[in-house]
């Protein structure tokens, strides 16, 4: 193949999940000023021809958006979430961050929960949302396709990167990726470096046809659902984001005794905070400052702690180059 993929032979031995987290919903000094536009997320789709779920957006509460009578309305910041978790978990996880943005920027924050990375990319391209949390592959495609800009990258356990993990049940007898041939497998999203792109390259390196390698391949939409599908025996293997797996193990330490990793990608740039190319330079600078200086005040440090992050750092394009190489390899095989 044109580019050899780094695979750890025994990733389970070196993989150290977080200790059990005692994170709870953080109380903030100001009421959460978030308008949820809502999303409908489906669980399964056919991997060879994924049917992306449609989003049904509720009507915006214009009373809240425009401000109370007699009070000057504040500008609105539309924030899109297309994370590797379910909508409920996304809101629980990112609620403190959204309220922090509302406070620091003095803007009303509206949240759009996209049903897929593809949906979120279109919203960012057209200005339907101004700020977004997207996957690494979505960022690469958006940056190359329409000038999507990365503002900040989360640093987790001292690293601005994550990995794709190939998971199986511990006592399944499956010892390496090649053993998954003819079995069922869970991808996450068709625009995911960890949950789709990396396992595709592993199939290609075995000189196998991607569409015929698994007996059945499914899209779960999010990493937490892929982990659940594997844990419940609905599939024999799954590809997930290593950080999301860490967090799942932190909530359920027994998970690490039920599942194990039989493959791991090289480090990949973590999913960044991105800004639509339709956003003006002044707001871009404000947003960049808020994220990169988040650890400098007490409220910001509390937000980082709730997210289990060290800090946000400026992006380095080199972190995302391995994703571009994998994408070129997969596209060349078609």
Q: Which residue has the tokens 């007898």?
A: 173
Check residue 66 and give its pLDDT: 35
Measure the CA–CA gap between 24 and 22, rounded to whole angstroms.
6
Express each pLDDT in 269-303 by its tens digit: 999 999 999 999 999 999 999 999 999 999 999 99
What integer best gives the mean pLDDT of the chain?
A: 81
* 117 shares its domain with 72: yes
CB–CB of 37/112 below 8 Å? yes
Check residue 84 and give its pLDDT: 64
The number of CA neighbours under 13 Å toward the Cβ of 9 is 0
Q: Which residue has the tokens 């511990």?
A: 170
DSSP state of 295: G
CATH number at residue 314: 3.40.190.10
* 40 shares its domain with 142: yes
Express each pLDDT in 188-240 by its tens digit: 999 999 999 999 999 999 999 999 999 999 999 889 999 999 999 999 999 99
* Ordered alpha helix ranges (H), 272-333: 281-292, 298-307, 321-332
* 110 shares its domain with 135: yes
- Residue 109 covered by a domain: yes
Measure the CA–CA gap between 127 and 179, rounded to whole angstroms.
44
Structural domain of 172 = 11-19+160-268
Measure the CA–CA gap between 112 and 158, rounded to whole angstroms.
30
Strands 76-81 vs 34-36: parallel, antiparallel or unpaired: unpaired
Number of domains in the chain: 2
CB–CB of 96/31 below 8 Å? no
What average pLDDT score do residues 170-197 get? 96
Measure the CA–CA gap between 181 and 198, rounded to whole angstroms.
16
- Residue 185 covered by a domain: yes
Can you tell me whether residue 305 is helix, strand or coil? Answer: helix
Query: What percent of the chain lies above the pLDDT cut of 90?
Result: 67
- Residue 25 covered by a domain: no
Check residue 258 and give its pLDDT: 98
Check residue 252 and give its pLDDT: 96
- Other Cβ atoms less than 10 A from the Cβ of 47: the count is 18
- What is the token pair recorded at 231? 């844990």
User: For residue 69, is pLDDT > 60?
Assistant: no
Under the banding of pLDDT at 50, 70 and 90, the label for residue 68 is very low
Express each pLDDT in 78-90 by its tens digit: 999 876 667 777 7
pTM over 0.85: no
Express each pLDDT in 301-326 by its tens digit: 999 999 999 999 999 999 999 999 99
- What is the token pair recorded at 230? 């594997």
* 257 shares its domain with 301: no
Which residue, 229, 248, 247, is CA-closest to 238? 229
Under the banding of pLDDT at 50, 70 and 90, the label for residue 115 is confident
- Residue 139 covered by a domain: yes
* 144 shares its domain with 226: no
CB–CB of 193/319 below 8 Å? no
């Amino acid at each position: 193949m044109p580019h050899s993929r780094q695979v750890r032979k025994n990733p389970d031995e070196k993989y150290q999940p977080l200790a059990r987290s005692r994170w709870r919903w953080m109380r903030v000094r100001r009421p959460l000023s978030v308008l949820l536009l809502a999303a409908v997320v489906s669980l399964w789709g056919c991997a060879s021809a994924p049917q992306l779920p449609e989003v049904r957006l509720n009507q915006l509460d214009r009373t809240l958006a425009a401000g109370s009578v007699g009070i000057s309305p504040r500008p609105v910041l539309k924030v899109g979430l297309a994370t590797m978790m379910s909508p409920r978990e996304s809101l629980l996880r990112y609620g403190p961050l959204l309220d922090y943005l509302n406070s620091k920027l003095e803007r009303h924050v509206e949240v759009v929960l996209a049903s897929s990375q593809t949906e979120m990319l279109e919203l960012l391209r057209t200005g339907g949302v101004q700020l977004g949390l997207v996957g690494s592959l979505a960022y690469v495609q958006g940056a190359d396709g329409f000038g999507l800009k990365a503002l900040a990258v989360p640093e987790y356990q001292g690293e601005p990167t994550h990995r794709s993990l190939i998971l199986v049940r511990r006592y399944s007898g499956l010892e390496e990726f090649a053993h998954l041939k003819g079995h069922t497998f869970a991808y996450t999203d068709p625009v995911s470096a960890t949950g789709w792109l990396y396992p595709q390259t592993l199939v290609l390196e075995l000189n196998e046809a991607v569409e015929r390698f698994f007996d059945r391949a499914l899209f779960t939409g999010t990493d937490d659902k892929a982990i659940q599908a594997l844990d419940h025996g609905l599939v024999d293997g799954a590809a997930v984001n290593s950080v999301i797996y860490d967090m799942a193990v932190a909530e359920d330490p027994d998970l690490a005794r039920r599942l194990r990793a039989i493959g791991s990608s090289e480090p990949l740039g973590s999913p960044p905070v991105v800004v639509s190319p339709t956003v003006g330079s002044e707001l871009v600078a404000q947003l960049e400052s808020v994220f990169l200086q988040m650890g400098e005040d007490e409220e910001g440090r509390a937000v980082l702690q709730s997210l289990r992050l060290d800090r946000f750092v400026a992006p380095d394009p080199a972190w995302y180059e391995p994703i571009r190489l994998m994408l070129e390899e997969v596209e060349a095989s078609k």
